Amino acid sequence: MTEPSITLSHIGICVSDLERSLRFYCEGLGFKEMTTYRVGNEYRKLLELDAEIALETRFLFRDGFYIELLYFHSPGQGGPNTRRPINQLGFTHMNLRVSDVDAVAATIRAYGGAVHEHTRTRLTNNEGQLETDVVYCNDPDGVRIEVYASPRPAVEE
């Protein structure tokens, strides 16, 4: 038996204000808007919603990575838009490797996100040179974004 093919496609983020999220991710973080889909009750079974469905999705792309923003015109959005504990099961964060943490943090603030300075961590090497600079931020709907600067990638290939 042959193994099935698996390819990472995208992550989905439910948003409360589509235009604000598009500004945040596209203008603020440099994602490019790619495709728009509008779907309805034909996806009721998949989405597990017992209401009339009017869903608009926007696929955004940057550096080989896709985000799907989901905006429910109907039945609307629900749930808290606050930061989740990092040890809560499920999606915890996305990581942005950047050249300047302060500049990206300022952009995140300017486009409606939050920067949690109390999480700022700076690590030095044996010579006392800054090796890693990282801080947690949130998009306007509370999705945690790790902003990370280091000469090394977070994951070695």
For residue range 56-74, list pLDDT tens digits in order: 999 999 999 999 999 999 9
Burial code of 107-123, b = ≥16 C-beta within 10 A, e = fewer?
bbeebbbbbeeeeeeee
More confident residue, 109 or 1: 109
Rounded to two decimals, the pTM is 0.90
The domain defined by 94-149 carries CATH number 3.10.180.10:
yes
Q: Which alpha helices (H) appear in 85-139, and where do they start and end?
A: 101-110
- Provide the mean pLDDT of the chain: 92
The domain defined by 11-74 carries CATH number 3.40.109.10:
no
More confident residue, 132 or 27: 27
Name the segment(s) of the chain with CATH classification 3.10.180.10. 11-74, 94-149
pLDDT in tens, 18-51: 999 999 999 999 999 999 999 999 999 999 999 9
Report the first-to-last Cα separation within the chain, whole angstroms: 29
Q: Which of 76, 70, 78, 10 is nearest to 38 (CA)?
A: 70
